[in-house]
Amino acid sequence: MVLEKPRVISRAPLELNPNFSQAYSRMIANLSTERIRGVLLDIEGTTTPISFVHTTLFSYARAELKEFLTVNWNTPEVAADLAGLHAEHAADVRRNLQPPPLELATPDGVSSTIAYVNWLMDVDRKSTTLKSLQGKIWREGYLSRTLLAEMFSDVAPALRRWQKAGLSVNIFSSGSVLAQRLLFAHTQDGDLTDTIDNYFDTTIGPKTESESYQRIAQSVRLPAQEILFISDVSAELAAAKLAGMPALLCVRPGNATTEGDEPFETIRTFENLLTGPYEN
């Protein structure tokens, strides 16, 4: 099977602005001795290379979409995704975004769904329904061992270190919870799901809204001030900070420069993050 190669996103490192708040910088610098009891991690560009998501996962979803829809068109779980796509398409039409036609109740239902799903992927839509459908397709790829998730080399040791230290380790991604679990269960470092306590997707709220992070803090039963959020997207970090979470910008190979209203302390590895007093 030849996978389609989508556009490659060129990303450059983001450097720390020297005018960043001194008080906030001191707080970040002393994270290893502060009362941090939980970690909340983004996936794409933070634990996992962006190229794996855009080149490998998206290409696999595109290549397998027709067969998956044809086989599973009338199943309840796919019917729920189709209903979600129909509602999202109607909203796109109202907003004059000019999506391709979507005609679910016609003989061209599968073809029009493929066209719309590909359009959503082309614009990199963080759609809960799209991510749900992708997760189901990727499940078949992981279980057949066609897919193997890539992690940055420092991620698995850090997850195990934080677990040993008794920290609550959590994931917040636009990808569905199913897709998140599959990714961490099938990595080049083995099954890492035993190091993860909770998974959150956009059903809890958008990643750029502070209320989402407040709900996550309530769900993991920790004060927001005791949960460190790490992401490669400034808008997400700003939302987490507004909710009370300390936040770090993760700069990885292949990541884009992200523009925000305020700069954030940057890290390039988890290697020496949250070490010391919390290790057993």
Q: Which fold has domain 22-48+149-267?
A: Rossmann fold (3.40.50)
Per-residue pLDDT of the chain (280 residues; tens, 9 = 90+): 333 333 333 333 333 344 434 444 454 545 554 589 999 999 999 999 999 999 999 999 999 999 999 999 999 999 999 999 999 999 999 999 999 999 998 888 999 999 999 999 999 999 999 999 999 999 999 999 999 999 999 999 999 999 999 999 999 999 999 999 999 999 999 999 999 999 999 999 999 999 999 999 999 999 999 999 999 999 999 999 999 999 999 999 999 865 554 689 999 999 999 985 543 3
Going by DSSP bridges, is the β-strand pair 227-231/266-267 parallel, antiparallel, or unpaired? unpaired
Q: DSSP for 219-254?
A: HHTS-GGGEEEEES-HHHHHHHHHTT--EEEE--TT
pTM: 0.83
Give the domain ranges of the chain: 22-48+149-267, 54-143
The CATH class of 54-143 is mainly alpha
158 vs 175: CA distance, rounded Å:
22
* Helix (H), strand (E) at residue 172: strand 168-172
Length of the chain: 280
CB atoms within 10 A of CB 91: 11
- Please tell me if the domain spanning 22-48+149-267 has the same topology as the one spanning 54-143: no
Dist CA 258 CA 51 (whole Å): 17
Element (H, E) at 150: none
